[in-house]
Amino acid sequence: MLLPLSSATYSTYVSCYSGESSAEVNIEADSNDITEHPHDDKTTPYLCTVCDKQFTTKGRLNRHKQTHTTGMLYSCSQCENRFTTQQYLSKHMNVHSSKYKCTECGKCFSNINNLTVHRRSHSGEKPFECTVCGKRFTQSGHLDKHSRIHSGEKPYKCLECDKTFNRSEHLKSHMRVHTGEKPYKCSLCNKSFSQSRHLQTHKRCVHSNRRPYDCRYCGKLFKTNGNLKRHVYTHTGAKLYSCRHCSERFMWPLQLKTHLLKSHNEGTWFTCHICEKKFTLSGYLKTHLLRHGDVKPYVCLECPKCFYTAYELKRHALKHSNVKLFCCGLCGKDFKHKLYVPMHFK
């Protein structure tokens, strides 16, 4: 679990596994960090402030607290797993007794709920449907996370830069921006990335011509999912992101965020302390602040030109190569830069 930089009370984590689920145990957590308080989501009002898990009752939250404050006292006699309570151990033993066993693949689970969800992987059943776009899910929790895409809700906040996210795993991944951790390395050029998806995109766009994303309307292939989504909008014109205050709808999350700031004064502007220019994202402000200085840290290896940002250098580097990453959704013509696509229509 990747922790915010300002959290100094967490030191040792031990992972334990029960069936398909896993739990992280904080041996030295500060008891002041483990408190319950009402949360905005009325269906899960009790929130653990250590790991952000939510619970429907105070009793369940109190049982969950034990995973952060106690040791692994109960060990399984048939495997190396250890648990914080006798109750968790008893549930785990169902895996070895085959009490909840899938008749399709033989996999065993600790309880009937996990088995029921697993069976849907064989049947293809997806009982939970999004009322906005019609996408279906095998679990209600997955639907809840998906629904935040349409509502714009982002309950997970970075303690370092105040950036918010709609999923906890996105926040954990974002924290690598502050720690500088880049655990995913390209085996071909040794370039490192903070997220595995960035590494996969890098390999496709730089080291191969593979185009795994195909348009369901016309069959055209794309290297990245983002390029495919932009192309699909030329067929559908869909606006999936709706404002909770008015009837406005938008194609992209950033458009919705900008609308909420300008029209409803909801959210936080990032203001330059030198010229007072305002930005919707902290990243935009950081890039802007570079332009108040004289240093251009990004140097082209092919020519003497220097640039303020890595993006500007990458855009310039395309002049020295034949790589074309951006595609016109109407005629299929490829371009080296995304700005060339709208210019192509004129």
Give 103's DSSP letter: T
Residue 192: how many CB atoms within 10 A of its CB?
A: 14
**Per-residue pLDDT at 41 exceeds 50:** no
| Pairing mode of beta strands 241-242, 249-250 | antiparallel
Helix (H, G, I), strand (E, B) or coil at 222: strand
* Amino acid (1-letter code) at residue 236: T
CA distances from 45 to 55, 140, 171 (A): 7, 17, 21
Of 188 and 2, more confident: 188
pLDDT tens-place string over residues 238-270: 787 888 889 888 877 788 888 988 898 888 888
Domains of the chain: 1-100 (no CATH), 298-345 (3.30.160.60)
Alpha helix stretches (DSSP H) within the chain: 58-69, 86-97, 112-123, 140-151, 168-174, 176-179, 196-207, 225-236, 253-264, 282-290, 310-317, 340-345
160, two tokens: 């370092």
Q: Which residues contact 135 (CB under 8 A, 6 or more apart)?
A: 129, 146
Average pLDDT over residues 300-308: 86
Of 267, 304, 269, 312, the closest CA to residue 287 belongs to 312
CA distances from 204 to 160, 199, 200, 210, 213 (A): 32, 9, 6, 6, 11
**Per-residue pLDDT at 159 exceeds 70:** yes
Query: How far is residue 346's CA from residue 339's CA, in Å, rounded to a whole number?
Result: 12
**pTM score over 0.75:** no
Query: How far is residue 93's CA from residue 90's CA, in Å, rounded to a whole number?
Result: 5
CB 212 within 8 A of CB 229: no
Highest mean pLDDT among 50-54, 74-78, 146-150, 205-209: 146-150
Average pLDDT over residues 35-54: 59
Confidence bin at 275 (pLDDT 50/70/90): very high
Of 225, 197, 223, 203, the closest CA to residue 211 belongs to 223
pLDDT tens-place string over residues 311-338: 788 778 777 776 555 666 556 666 655 5
Of 48, 43, 18, the closest CA to residue 31 belongs to 48
Query: How far is residue 240's CA from residue 28's CA, in Å, rounded to a whole number?
Result: 44
Confidence bin at 72 (pLDDT 50/70/90): low
